[in-house]
Structure 1
Amino acid sequence: MSRGLWCAGVLVFALTLLVKLPASWVLRGFDWAPGWQPEQVSGSLWHGRIERLGLVGPLSWQLRPLQRQLQVDAGLQQQAWALRVEGWPWRWQARLQPAPVQATSRSDYLLDGQWQGALQFEARGSRCIGSQGELSGQQLAMLAPWSLTLGSARISANCQQGLQLLAEIERAGEHRLQARMQPVQQRLQLSGQVQPDAAITPLLVQAGLLKAGAGQFEKRFGPR
């Protein structure tokens, strides 16, 4: 056998092995945080499914390297979400939007509501260079472990100083909560204004975010 045929055979074998590589083998090599270990993993590295990953589940993905596309579908709190990524690592676009409601994995916390809209990103490597759109939620409510009406929500993104995710939850006459997250820097800032008789006040006090008798708060998490 010539060296060329031998190399071609090795290449075909390596590609076949890579395509058929079980997703469970790959995921087993990661150091997962407590409570976020993948459960019931099936499929391959290119087309697989996880029944539960922390609060998320089911989660499925399909990677098409030749078409430069990644499709991820995930269930979270009785809502399905669809993520589409296209392009090469040095220049890519992503779109996140709610999908039709589906059965999702059970968790200790249960939220309900209606979501619409879409978030779109453009990036070079890990650097976000542009974003547009927003996600909006209506009639949001916590069903477990407490019964609590949250109101409406908006989620948007900003790339002027690195990727920032901005979320706002408001119920007229009761509370207005804001969250600013910088995923790359691993920073999170929570703030809010709350009426003394708001239904959410005892929960915020119990969580250590709001001092008893106070009407507003601000907390920062992550490295300075």
Structure 2
Amino acid sequence: MSRSLWLAGGLAFVFTLLANLPAAWVLGSIAWPSGWQAEAPGGTLWKGRLRRLGPLGPLAWQVSPWRGHLQVEGAFQQQAWTLRASGWPWNWQARLSPGAAAVGAAGDYLIDGRWQGELRLAGQGGRCLHAEGQLQASQVAMLTPWNLALGDVRVTPSCAAGLQLLAHIQRAGEHRIEARLELASHRLRLDGQVQADAALLPPLAQAGWVKPGSTVLAAQLRLR
């Protein structure tokens, strides 16, 4: 057998192996942070599913590396979400949009709201260069660990100092809060004003985010 035939056979074997690479084998070899272990992965690396990944799940994905296309569908906070990304690492675009109501993975916090809109991002490598769009929902409520009405919420993305999500949370006559989530540093900053008779004040004071006798919210949290 000629060298070219051996080479062609070897390449065919490698491509077949890569095309059928089990998702369980790949995800099981990753050192996930505590609480983020991939549960019940199935399928292949290119088209697979898993029951849960941290607060996300169930999740399903399709990857077409030769076309530079990725689609992930999953549930988060009682709603289905779809992430679509295209392009190559040096020039990519991504869109995140909500879908129908869905039963997602249980977590320490559970927020209920019917979201609408879309977030659109573009970047190069690990850098976010452009962000636009917004997500909005009315009558948003926290169900766990407290049962509280949050009101109207609007979320916008920003690339000004790394990828960030900015949330404006307001309920007339009760509170007005600005939340800034810095994804790269895993930090969440909360600032706002809470009325003295607002239902949200006692849990915020209990958490130490509002000082005794004050109605000013100021907190910075490190998320893990």
Q: Under a length normalisation based on structure 1, what TM-score does the superposition of the two structures give?
A: 0.93
Cα pair distance change 1:217/1:102, threshold 3 Å: closer
Percent identity between matched residues is: 51
Cα distance change, pair 109–187 in 1 and its aligned pair in 2 (3 A):
closer
Taking the TM superposition and a 5 Å limit, the aligned residue runs for 1:200-211 are 200-211=200-211
Map of 2:196 onto structure 1: 196
Conserved? CA contact 2:71–2:85, under 8 Å: yes
Gaps of 5+ in 1: none
SS in 1 for 2:220: strand
**1:86-165 residue pairs with structure 2 within 5 A?**
86-165=86-165
Query: Structure 2: which 5+ residue stretches go unaligned?
Result: none
Distance in 1 between residues matched to 2:157 and 2:59, nearest whole Å = 23
Change over 3 Å in CA distance of 1:143–1:189 after alignment to 2: closer
Change (3 A) 1:99 1:30: same
Q: 1:146 to 1:189 in 2, by over 3 A?
A: closer
The number of equivalent residue pairs is 222
**2:40 is paired with a residue of what secondary structure?**
strand
Which string of whole-angstrom CA distances, capped at 9 and with x for unpartnered residues, describes residues 3-51 of structure 1?
2111111111111111111111111122222222111111110011111
Paired residue type of 2:83: L
SS at match of 1:208: coil
Counterpart contact for 2:101–2:114, Cα < 8 Å: no
Q: Distance in 1 between matches of 2:144 and 2:185?
A: 31
Structure 2 distance, partners of 1:18, 1:5, is: 20
TM-score by length of 2: 0.93
Amino acid at match of 2:167: A
RMSD over equivalenced CA pairs, Å = 1.6
